[in-house]
C-alpha cells in the first residue's frame, strides 16, 4: 500500500483556541467517517503558539477525487463552516489553499 503523507499549517488567533480545542475534543462522527471513506488516516493537528500544524496519511488511488469527495460531504461542509471563521490562513499560502501545504524535508520508516 502506498502512503502519501500530507502536512499543512494555518493560523489560529489566541481568542479562538478554547473553542477550537473544544470542537476537536469531540469531532463530529460524520466528519471522521468522511475522512475514512476517502482513505485519510492518522490525521493529527498540533498547535504551536498561534499556528496549527496538521498531518495526515492518504492511502487511496485518486487523491484529487477523494479530496473532492470530502469537500462535497454535507457534514464536512457544515464542520468547515464552523471551523473556518476560527482559523486565519497564512498570507503566503498557494492560490486556492486554505491550509498552507508544507513540503516534506525528511522522513524515515
* pLDDT of amino acid 109: 79
* pLDDT of amino acid 100: 97
* pLDDT of amino acid 45: 98
The three grid cell numbers given for residue 51, joined into one nine-digit string: 499556528
Distances in Å between the Cα of 34 and the Cα atoms of 17, 18, 20, 49, 51 are 25, 25, 20, 29, 25
108 vs 39: which has the higher pLDDT: 39
pLDDT tens per residue across span 22-66: 999 999 999 999 999 999 999 999 999 999 999 999 999 999 999
Report percent pLDDT > 70 for the chain.
Answer: 100
Question: Is the overall model pTM greater than 0.85, yes or no?
Answer: yes
Amino acid at each position: 500500500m502506498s502512503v502519501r503523507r500530507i502536512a499543512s499549517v494555518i493560523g489560529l488567533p489566541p481568542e479562538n483556541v478554547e473553542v477550537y480545542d473544544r470542537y476537536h475534543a469531540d469531532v463530529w462522527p460524520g466528519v471522521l467517517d468522511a475522512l475514512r471513506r476517502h482513505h485519510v488516516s492518522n490525521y493529527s493537528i498540533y498547535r504551536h503558539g498561534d499556528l496549527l500544524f496538521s498531518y495526515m496519511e492518504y492511502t487511496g488511488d485518486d487523491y484529487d477525487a477523494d479530496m473532492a469527495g470530502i469537500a462535497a460531504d454535507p457534514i464536512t461542509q457544515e464542520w468547515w463552516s464552523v471551523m473556518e471563521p476560527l482559523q486565519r490562513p497564512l498570507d503566503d499560502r498557494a492560490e486556492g489553499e486554505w491550509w498552507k501545504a508544507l513540503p516534506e524535508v525528511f522522513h524515515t520508516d
